[in-house]
Amino acid sequence: MSSGFWYTEEQTPNLRYSSKITQTLHTETTPFQELAMIDTVQWGRMLVLDNMVMTTIKDEFVYHEMISHVALNTHPNPKKVMIIGGGDGGAIRECVKHAKVEKAVLCEIDGRVIETSKEYLPEIASALFGHPKVEVLVADGVKHIQENENEYDVIMVDSTEPVGPAEGLFAAEFYQAVYRALKPDGIMVAQTESPFVNADLISRVFKDIRSIFPVTKLYLASIPTYPSGLWSFTMGSKQYDPEAVDVSAIPEMETRYYTPALHKAAFCLPKFVQDLIKE
């Protein structure tokens, strides 16, 4: 994973990303993946799974705010929320900021990600320390979704890259199960990788979700430690259009990236991204 004092991630066969490290805090092989926690000069503490950067102290707020608040401020009454994956706790931390959210369920297949994040990233995992709105399930998210129907207002798919334990979270059959698990006006949102690096995946996933949900939209955020720095999220909604939200009615909350204006601006896509998802 590291060469001297550098951590290097092979993001594609032709692209590597390196960060200077000060300390390797923890490494282990879980039943599902290789897990490491390292301290870096540029990005602070970093969670790495299967030699891929999952989150860092310096830029985690971008991803976690954007996977959470766009959907939660699109749905008018998101009482019950499910996060599939997201064992670092960042997305569920953002969910419980919403007064209308009464219950947020985290379903993470690898319990060691949860425990290690609580130990080394407590500021990200803060909602996992007994928050009254939070329920934690150490379970297979695909199986859990298949066993529930008409249960959730919002489902967030906070997955790792589409390999290993997360591969099933990018399949059309999974999105169909998510649709069934949502209430009649429910919303799903999934992280869908980089339009520079994963163009084919974005096109396929968007097509799959669009074939299931009446409203399907893609939006972007800038996340510097992820491949290319430009990241996509795809939303499938049974009823509500995220671009039709009255941003003046969005309640104030403490954020560092997401704003009401950005809620709409994130859907303004560059031409090359529009071309990836056109019919």
Residue ranges of the annotated binding site for spermidine are 64, 88, 158-161
Place of tokens 């006006």: 185
Binding residues are 33, 64, 88, 108, 140-141, 158-161, 165
49's CB contacts (< 8 A; 6+ apart) are 33, 34, 35, 36, 113, 160
Place of tokens 């985690």: 60
Burial class of 169 by CB neighbour count within 10 A (0 to 12, 13 to 18, 19+): buried
Neighbour-count burial of 255, counting CB atoms closer than 10 A to its CB (0-12 exposed, 13-18 middle, 19+ buried): middle
Give Rg (Cα) of the chain.
Answer: 18
> Of residues 59, 110, 153, 158, which has the active-site annotation?
158
Contact, 90 vs 64, CB < 8 A?
A: yes
Paired strand residues for 18: 8
Is residue 186 within 8 A of residue 155, CB to CB? The reply is yes
Q: Is 158 designated active site?
A: yes
Check residue 13 and report its DSSP letter.
Answer: T
DSSP letter at 76?
A: S
Catalytic residues: 158
